[in-house]
Chain A
Amino acid sequence: MIFRIDPASDQPLFEQLVTQVRVGIARGRLVHGERLPAARELADALEMNVHTVLRAYQVLRDEGLIDLRRGRGAIVTGRPEADLSAVEQAMTELIRAAKAAQLSPDATAALVKEAMR
């Protein structure tokens, strides 16, 4: 699977990784029992600090999405969401509106987060 980070984004790097794993699990791209890449390998490939990756993994563990064990790495324990089609549909609308209003992806995400609080 692809992992990506955007240093130009307002979102902290560790959060960007957390979001990707979360979305990957929700969409079923990351399945139960699958092993995430070693923190060092991911950090090396993305030219970032290994502690940033470890922080992302810790957040994911606290959310119950992965299992962190010494020597075994990070194992996905989360399950895909049952049906995201309603959310996807609503999101298409939201994205269209956000683009029309010239909102950046970060700003849109922040609005959604705020509203869900």
Chain B
Amino acid sequence: MTTGILLRRRFGDNHRGRVLIAALVAFSALLLAGGVALSWRRDLPDPVATHWSGTGTPDGFMALGMFVGGMVGIGATLTAAFAVLAAARGQASSTRRTAIGSIVWLNAFLGIALLGSLWIQRDLDDARSTGGLGTVTALAIVAPLLPAVAAALLVPRDAPAPATGPVAADAPRAALGDAERAVWLGRASGGPGSVVAVGSIAVTTVLAVATQTWVMLTVPALLVLLLAAMLTFTVRVDATGLTVRSALGWPRTHLPADEVERADRAQVRAFAEFGGWGWRVGRGGRTGVVLRSGDALEVRQTNGRAFVVTVDGADQAAALLNTLADRSRTAPGGITGHQGDQA
């Protein structure tokens, strides 16, 4: 509590302070789990089992203190990494949401894995007789999903931030009559990411079946959902701005026309700039739907945000978005009220 108040005073009511508070709360939960684990010392074998082979028997052992320290250390490192990501590149609320959700999931995963793997060793004389870890692993993966999503949703959306200046003069424009309405529709789909995803789904399914740890089928099941959500996106530029929506309906995002500073066709390198495929956070805090390398629509927004989506025909989309953004400046509240010129 006190920490929260102090942090708020230090950072003001801004997003960096909130990320730090969330990270500290999540990491404290892992520290608590570590404390509980140490309090079980007398009931646990020494050393404890800390690694399990594919067949479900333990094959790695460690002193309890080392195990707890290792798990807490991993948690601290990853929490710090995501917190830095959110603080340094978190101009867009989607980035902060992802970072906070990941922090909560990671710490809960490590805490459950730690306590769960020790729980099944309580009252054993020799850790070698410990049973399989399948249920614990599945629980550790699935149980933190709900609090992680809840924490992510607690991060407020970006407040409306209409641009105060005009759209960049050197940005491309589309020829559009005064009364004319226009929409650009495109599709981003497939790409190398889907091959990687299908491969991972196949491998994890085969592993779960081969080792007969059926609960581990939750991993490919979650990957199928992820693949379905990231496989195809529709991209739409209209009077309201840019809308990018997964074929499943989620995830989706909307960039209001009056927050667009400029739109361009850009060249994107998926792996070098975004570290992979899907809904990404890239260098400099750019967010984007990156399904392949190459042509992309890049939109610079107010508050230093930038969004990228890899589509064909991005030059046309950029030109139309700039033109419609122009219009949002001259006609606040929409484009109604235009009179057709009958000259």
Interface residues of A (CB under 8 A from B): 1-9, 37, 41-42, 45-48
Interface of A is mostly: loop
Q: In the complex, what residues of B have CB within 8 A of residue A3's CB? A: 182-185
Find the B residue at minimum CB distance from A16. B180
Q: In the complex, what residues of A have CB within 8 A of residue B181's CB? A: 4-7, 46-48
B174 interfacial contact with A, CB 8 Å: yes
Q: In the complex, what residues of B have CB within 8 A of residue A37's CB? A: 185
Instruction: Tell me how far the C-beta of A112 lies from the nearest C-beta in chain B, rounded to whole angstroms.
Output: 21
Given contacts A1-B185, A9-B340, 8 further A-B contacts (CB under 8 A): A1-B313, A2-B184, A2-B320, A3-B185, A4-B176, A4-B183, A5-B182, A45-B185
- Bound CA–CA A47/B337 (angstroms): 13
Interface residues of B (CB under 8 A from A): 174, 176-186, 234, 236, 238-239, 313, 316, 320, 338, 340-342
Contact in complex: A45, B180 (CB < 8 Å):
no
7 tightest A-B CB contacts, nearest first? A8-B340, A45-B183, A45-B238, A4-B182, A8-B179, A6-B180, A37-B185
Partner of A5, one of B178, B180, B342: B180
Contact flag A46-B238 (CB < 8 Å), given A2-B183, A6-B177, A41-B185: yes
Q: In the complex, what residues of A have CB within 8 A of residue B177's CB? A: 6, 8
Contact in complex: A7, B340 (CB < 8 Å):
yes
Q: In the complex, what residues of B have CB within 8 A of residue A47's CB? A: 181, 239
Q: In the complex, what residues of A have CB within 8 A of residue B174's CB? A: 2
Contact in complex: B236, A45 (CB < 8 Å):
yes
Find the A residue at minimum CB distance from B180. A6
Q: In the complex, what residues of A have CB within 8 A of residue B320's CB? A: 2
Contact in complex: A42, B183 (CB < 8 Å):
yes
Q: In the complex, what residues of A have CB within 8 A of residue B313's CB? A: 1
Q: In the complex, what residues of A have CB within 8 A of residue B180's CB? A: 4-6, 8
Find the A residue at minimum CB distance from B177. A6
Q: In the complex, what residues of A have CB within 8 A of residue B342's CB? A: 8
- Bound CA–CA A8/B178 (angstroms): 9
Find the A residue at minimum CB distance from B316. A2
Contact in complex: A7, B179 (CB < 8 Å):
yes
Could you list some 9 contacts between A and B, CB below 8 A? A1-B186, A2-B174, A2-B184, A4-B181, A8-B178, A8-B179, A8-B180, A45-B185, A45-B236
- Bound CA–CA A5/B239 (angstroms): 13
Q: In the complex, what residues of B have CB within 8 A of residue A9's CB? A: 340
- Bound CA–CA A7/B239 (angstroms): 15
Instruction: Tell me how far the C-beta of B103 lies from the nearest C-beta in chain A, rounded to whole angstroms.
Output: 36
Find the A residue at minimum CB distance from B319. A2
- Bound CA–CA A108/B113 (angstroms): 75
Q: In the complex, what residues of A have CB within 8 A of residue B185's CB? A: 1, 3, 37, 41-42, 45
- Bound CA–CA A45/B184 (angstroms): 9
Find the B residue at minimum CB distance from A46. B181
